Amino acid sequence: MPQFRRIVCPTDFSPTAAAALAYACDLARSDKAELVLLHVLPTIHYPLRGLGMAEAFPHLQAELHTRGKERLAEAAKELGTGIAVRTELRDGEAYEQVLACAKELGADLIVLGTHGHTGLKHALLGSTAERVVRLAECPVLTVRKPG
């Protein structure tokens, strides 16, 4: 079995992401690997100024960053001791940022949850997990939605 040095685990703080994080933690502990807990904020596209919407949310992105950092810190703290954790907060398309993070940090593994959408819902929403699996340069472990 390969030895992992760095594992990237994206999270949207959902139960599915928590299940993936449990797997990532076990692997990181057993291999004494660094765990990178990643949260990606989607880029906000403001409506046109003529509609009067942009002025109503001038600090929205900053607030999302603050809350994202707080949630990442809480999640890292809940992991306890005995594991090296790094948190990353990025903006953009989730699958692109997961791939970029893994490549930039030299990850040996990506562990992420899959929400299991099928049919029309999958076609409309796309699948971050599917894109990561197809495009990643390192191995990817997907964890299905609990229950």
Question: 103: domain CATH number?
Answer: 3.40.50.620
CA atoms of 42 and 44, how far apart (whole Å): 6
Q: Where in the sequence is the domain holding 99, given as residue range(s)? A: 6-144
CA atoms of 87 and 10, how far apart (whole Å): 10
1 part of a folded domain: no
119 part of a folded domain: yes
State pLDDT tens for residues 70-79: 999 999 999 9
**pTM of this prediction?**
0.86
Task: Specify the number of domains making up the chain.
Answer: 1
State pLDDT tens for residues 47-104: 555 555 555 565 777 888 999 999 999 999 999 888 999 999 999 999 999 999 999 9
Q: In angstroms, how far is CA 56 from the centroid of its own chain? A: 29
CA atoms of 88 and 121, how far apart (whole Å): 29
